[in-house]
Amino acid sequence: LQKIVNDEAESRIVYHYQFLAWPDHGVPPNPGTVVNFLEEINQLESGMTEKRPLIVHCSAGIGRTGTFIAIDLILCLIRKYGLQCTIDIRRTVQMLRSQRSGMVQTEAQYKFVYMSVHYYIDTFAKLLHEHKRIEDSGHEYTNIRYSAEVASNQVIPISPSPFGSSIRPCNHPQCEACSSTPVVYPPQLIPPPRPKKGPRNPRPENS
């Protein structure tokens, strides 16, 4: 979509994404579809030179909207701090409900937040493991080739630094790919917190 304001001689491009397979008061059949949908939107936003606000809305703007925003907040936290970061889905939902009553409207939607985060963590961990495996394979090949070149040229290689073990990626506290600590998956499902009492939404979602 492109909006042109004649008076200001300015045009703006509006990107409109619509997720059709998400029933009202319900959840999609597969959390991976929502995670991939969200990743596509975030990739588009990260490539923009000028940041613009994002608008998320469903029919009433609390059920599916709150679920989508809660998932996005948690995934952004994981992307920023890695798999070993502490996440609190319950508190995230409470924070959203403090700003708009009724966000994440049903128990099924609350569970779906956990399912989506679990899917993302599991996929992220597998990608990191595969990346490390490819890196290790490349290092092994490089070492073999380097040893052959040294032998053919009769060059004595320099001994490794005595401080080498302290700067290896595996000993770096923020290296998720080499960390030996097991991945911490989301905690057991807990009942969703009840929204605070307030004025009823003038446009409730239709049942």
Nearest Cα residue to 37 out of 56, 61, 52, 50 = 56
Amino acid at 15: Y
Which residues have a catalytic role annotated?
Answer: 58
* Cβ-count burial 133-168 (b if 16+ within 10 Å, e if not): eeeeeeeeeeeeeeeeeeeeeeeeeeeeeeeeeeee
Instruction: Find the length of the chain.
Output: 207
Which residues, at least 6 apart from 115, have a Cβ–Cβ distance to it below 8 Å? 31
Q: Which amino acid is at 78?
A: I
